[in-house]
Structure 1
Amino acid sequence: MNDAAERLMLIVEDDAAFARTLKRSFERRGCRVLHAASVEETRELLKTQAPERAVVDLKLGQESGLSVVQMLHQHDPEMMIVVLTGFASIATAVEAIKLGACNYLVKPSNTDDIEAAFSNEPAEPQLQAPVAARPTSIKTLEMERIHEVLAETGFNISETARRLGMHRRTLARKLAKRWVP
């Protein structure tokens, strides 16, 4: 793809194997690729680099990728940002778009899906997520609410816990869990 040549892309992903795979795939397409595994690593990279595009995982260990989306958008409002997540919810999708993402994809997503997301065109019609016929689980609703309040508080864990009426350590444990909706 010729338009990818010389394009600088940032991948913010805490899963080293997945990040390495994405990095190689985009490099084969002619992109220069940077990798950060946390909010702090992203902040440091932005001091010296100016990526045009970013792929951000929603869950970065105990940190929220939404804070990275917000930081990237504030750094460069023209940067195209795609959010990837293993646990999609309407609340986090809406919040990601509000904070500056151009698209939101559910894992597993490949390089073609991500490229299509940057252009806001679905790679293939069948790749679009079907509307779930089953009711939303209590855990999913809880995580949606937690992420919503996290965004409202500027990703302040202590304030989020206070607003939700739970202990800060309890909230940290809930955020650290890998859960499936």
Structure 2
Amino acid sequence: MTDAPTWLLIDDDETFLQVLHRSLDRQGIGAAVAHSADEARQALAQQRFHHCVLDLNLAGDSGLQLLPDLLSRQPDLKVLVLTGYGSIATAVEAMRRGAVNYLCKPVTVKQLISGFDPLATAPELRAVPPSVEEMEWEHIQRVLNEHDGNVSATARALNMHRRTLQRKLQKHSYWRN
């Protein structure tokens, strides 16, 4: 294993991070973990990383909004976006914002490592069509991103009461992977 972590793992799911960290360690890959956008920014300020695994949903915050900030701090950082609910729209948006790849959970460590290989073939997003709830969530995320995370503006654009949107955002953070 290398002395300094070369990967940064950003996910609000502590159990997932522990398992992923141990699995990468067994592969000889050093990693640091961050449970929030603020922790990720602090880690990037303290050291240089080669790879970053970024969860799409960070306790209600958007990994897509954090992505450009990560790349502005370390332009050569290779960021792979990981999500429990994949869609073509968020995959395209992640790539547009600078991600090198986009994978759906669950993934193996081998899939994750090969996800950073630019010569690897793009994985299938999903064999099973998304549910109505997943499609609604993806639409909400897309509109939320268009309004830079502003919940009130997003609610107006969706023709939805702000409190209803807030409940949906809060609820989703509990039923995601």
Bin of the TM-score, shorter chain as denominator length: 0.7 to 0.9
The one-letter amino acid of 1:14's match is D
Percent of residue pairs identical: 39
What is the RMSD of the two structures over their aligned residues, measured on CA atoms?
Answer: 2.4
Q: For residue 144 of structure 1, what is the aligned residue in structure 2? A: 138
Q: For residue 103 of structure 2, what is the aligned residue in structure 1? A: 105
CA gap 1:119/1:20 in 2 versus in 1, 3 angstroms: same
TM-score relative to the length of structure 1: 0.83
Q: Secondary structure at the match of 1:47?
A: helix
Q: For residue 161 of structure 1, what is the aligned residue in structure 2? A: 155
1: distance between equivalents of 2:55 and 2:131? 22
2: distance between equivalents of 1:80 and 1:99? 12
TM-superposed CA distance for 1:144, in Å, is 1.9
Query: Cα deviation per residue 1:14-54 (whole Å; 9 max; x = unaligned)?
Result: 11111011111222223221111111211222221221110
Q: For residue 95 of structure 1, what is the aligned residue in structure 2? A: 93
Q: Secondary structure at the match of 1:69?
A: helix
2: distance between equivalents of 1:179 and 1:137? 13
CA gap 1:158/1:70 in 2 versus in 1, 3 angstroms: farther
TM-superposed CA distance for 1:68, in Å, is 2.2
Q: Secondary structure at the match of 2:142?
A: helix
Query: 1:3-152 maps to which residues of 2 (within 5 A)?
Result: 8-120=6-118, 121-122=120-121, 128-129=124-125, 131-132=127-128, 137-152=131-146
TM-score relative to the length of structure 2: 0.84
1: distance between equivalents of 2:137 and 2:18? 28
1: distance between equivalents of 2:152 and 2:34? 25
The one-letter amino acid of 1:139's match is E
TM-superposed CA distance for 1:129, in Å, is 4.5
1: distance between equivalents of 2:64 and 2:116? 17
Show structure 1 runs of 4+ deviating over 3 A: 4-7, 127-132
The one-letter amino acid of 1:46's match is L
Assess if the C-alpha contact under 8 Å between 1:5 and 1:29 holds in 2.
Answer: no
* Number of corresponding residues: 173
1: distance between equivalents of 2:23 and 2:83? 19
CA gap 1:46/1:167 in 2 versus in 1, 3 angstroms: farther
Runs of 5+ unmatched residues, structure 1: none
2: distance between equivalents of 1:45 and 1:129? 30
